Amino acid sequence: MKVLATIDWVVILGYFTLILGIAWWVIRQKNNTSEEYFLGGRNLGWFVVGASIFASNIGSEHLVGLAGSGATDGVALAHYELHAWCLLVLGWVLAPFYMRSKVFTMPEFLERRFSPTARWVLSLISLVAYVLTKVAVGIFAGGIVFGVLLPDVNFMGLDSFWLGSILVIILTGTYTILGGLRAVAYTEAIQTVILILGAVLVTWYGLDALGGWDELRRICGTEMFNLWKPMVPAGMEGTWAPIKTETQMAWYFNSNYPWLGMLLCAPIIGLWYWCTDQYIVQRTLAAADLTEARRGTIAASLLKLLPVFIFIIPGMICFALAASGKMPSISEALLDSEGNVVSANAQQAFPLLVASVLPAGIRGLVVAGLLAALMSSLAGVFNASSTLFTMDFYSKFRPNTSEANLVRIGRLATVVMVLIGLLWIPVIQGSRGLYDYLQSVQGYLAPPIFVVFFFGIFFKRMNAKGCLWALGIGFAMGLFRLAIDTPVTLSGHSYEPNSFFWIVNNIFFQYYSLLIFLVSAAVMVGVSYASEAPSYKSIEGLTFGTVTEAQKAETKASYTTSDVAWSVVVCVLIVVAYVYFSG
Q: What is the 3-state secondary structure (H, E, C) of 495-511?
A: CCCCCHHHHHHHECHHH
Answer yes or no: is pLDDT of 145 > 90: no
Q: How confident is the model at residue 365 (pLDDT cuts 50, 70, 90)?
A: confident
The predicted pLDDT at position 494 comes to 74
Answer yes or no: is pLDDT of 345 > 60: yes
Q: How confident is the model at residue 300 (pLDDT cuts 50, 70, 90)?
A: very high
> Beta partners for 158?
155
Q: Which of 31-45, 415-429, 448-462 has the highest mean pLDDT?
A: 448-462
Q: Which of 304, 60, 41 is nearest to 180 (CA)?
A: 41
Integer Cα distance of 466 and 70 in angstroms: 41
Answer yes or no: is pLDDT of 552 > 60: yes
* Contact in structure between 412 and 482 (CB atoms under 8 Å): no
Question: Which of the residue ranges 223-232, 350-359, 361-370, 523-532 would you say has the lowest mean pLDDT?
Answer: 223-232
Give the other-Cβ count within 10 Å of 550's Cβ: 9
Question: Which of the residue ranges 45-59, 249-263, 315-329 would you say has the lowest mean pLDDT?
Answer: 249-263
Q: How confident is the model at residue 196 (pLDDT cuts 50, 70, 90)?
A: confident
Q: Which of 217, 436, 433 is nearest to 323 (CA)?
A: 217
Answer yes or no: is pLDDT of 333 > 80: no
- Give the strand pairing for 154-155 and 158-159: antiparallel
The predicted pLDDT at position 1 comes to 45
The predicted pLDDT at position 294 comes to 95
The predicted pLDDT at position 237 comes to 44
Mind listing the pLDDT tens digit for each residue in 28-78?
A: 766 555 555 555 556 678 888 888 888 777 765 666 667 777 777 777 777
Answer yes or no: is pLDDT of 248 > 50: no
* Contact in structure between 257 and 22 (CB atoms under 8 Å): no
Q: Which residue has the higher pLDDT, 245 or 22?
A: 22
Q: Which residue has the higher pLDDT, 251 or 185?
A: 185
- For 253, phi and psi rounded to 5 degrees? -70, -50
Q: What is the arithmetic mean of pLDDT over 429-453?
A: 74
Mind listing the pLDDT tens digit for each residue in 482-527?
A: 888 777 665 666 788 878 888 887 788 888 889 999 999 999 999 9
Q: Over the range 237-263, which residues count as b (16 or more CB within 10 Å of their CB) and which as e?
A: ebbeebebbeebeebbbbbbbbbbbbe
For the chain, domains (ranges, CATH) are 6-19+42-580 (1.20.1730.10)
Residue type, 90: L
- Alpha-carbon Rg of the chain, whole angstroms? 23
Q: Which of 168, 184, 145 is nearest to 56 (CA)?
A: 184
- For 517, phi and psi rounded to 5 degrees? -60, -50
Residue type, 141: A
Residues whose CB falls within 8 Å of the CB of residue 191, separated by 6 or more in sequence, listed in order: 19, 55, 372, 373, 375, 376
Sign of CA dihedral 163, 166, 170, 172: positive
Answer yes or no: is pLDDT of 553 > 90: yes
Answer yes or no: is pLDDT of 451 > 90: yes
Q: Which residue has the higher pLDDT, 413 or 347?
A: 413
First to last CA, the chain: 36
**Residues above pLDDT 90, as percent of the chain:** 22
| DSSP 8-state class, residue 63 | I
What is the DSSP track for 189-245?
HHHHHHHHHHHHHHHHHHHHHHT-HHHHHHHHHHHHT-SSGGGS-TT---TTSSB--
Integer Cα distance of 4 and 405 in angstroms: 44
* Contact in structure between 487 and 502 (CB atoms under 8 Å): no
* Contact in structure between 524 and 518 (CB atoms under 8 Å): no
Continuous H helices in 430-508? 434-458, 464-491, 500-506
> Beta partners for 159?
154
The predicted pLDDT at position 17 comes to 84
Q: What is the largest CA-CA distance in the chain?
A: 70
Q: How far is CA 521 from CA 214, 286, 334, 452, 462, in A?
A: 47, 31, 43, 8, 11
- For 257, phi and psi rounded to 5 degrees? -135, 70
* Contact in structure between 387 and 367 (CB atoms under 8 Å): no
The predicted pLDDT at position 466 comes to 96
Integer Cα distance of 473 and 499 in angstroms: 23
Give the other-Cβ count within 10 Å of 191's Cβ: 31
The predicted pLDDT at position 435 comes to 53
Is 50 exposed, middle or buried, given 0-12, 13-18 or 19+ CB atoms closer than 10 A?
buried
The predicted pLDDT at position 35 comes to 57
Q: What is the arithmetic mean of pLDDT over 121-126?
A: 85
Q: Which residue has the higher pLDDT, 255 or 322?
A: 322
Q: How confident is the model at residue 8 (pLDDT cuts 50, 70, 90)?
A: confident
Q: Which of 492, 512, 68, 577 is nearest to 256 (CA)?
A: 512
* pTM: predicted TM-score of the whole model, two decimal places: 0.79
Answer yes or no: is pLDDT of 427 > 70: no
Q: What is the arithmetic mean of pLDDT over 531-548?
A: 92
- For 287, phi and psi rounded to 5 degrees? -70, 155
Question: Which of the residue ranges 186-190, 194-198, 297-301, 354-358 would you say has the lowest mean pLDDT?
Answer: 186-190
Q: How confident is the model at residue 404 (pLDDT cuts 50, 70, 90)?
A: confident
Reduced to 3 states (helix: H, G, I; strand: E, B; else coil), residue 287 is strand
Answer yes or no: is pLDDT of 465 > 50: yes
Q: Which residue has the higher pLDDT, 461 or 43?
A: 461
Integer Cα distance of 457 and 461 in angstroms: 10
Q: Quick one: angle between helices 349-357 and 313-324, nearest 10? A: 70
Q: How confident is the model at residue 252 (pLDDT cuts 50, 70, 90)?
A: very low
The predicted pLDDT at position 12 comes to 83
**Residues above pLDDT 70, as percent of the chain:** 75
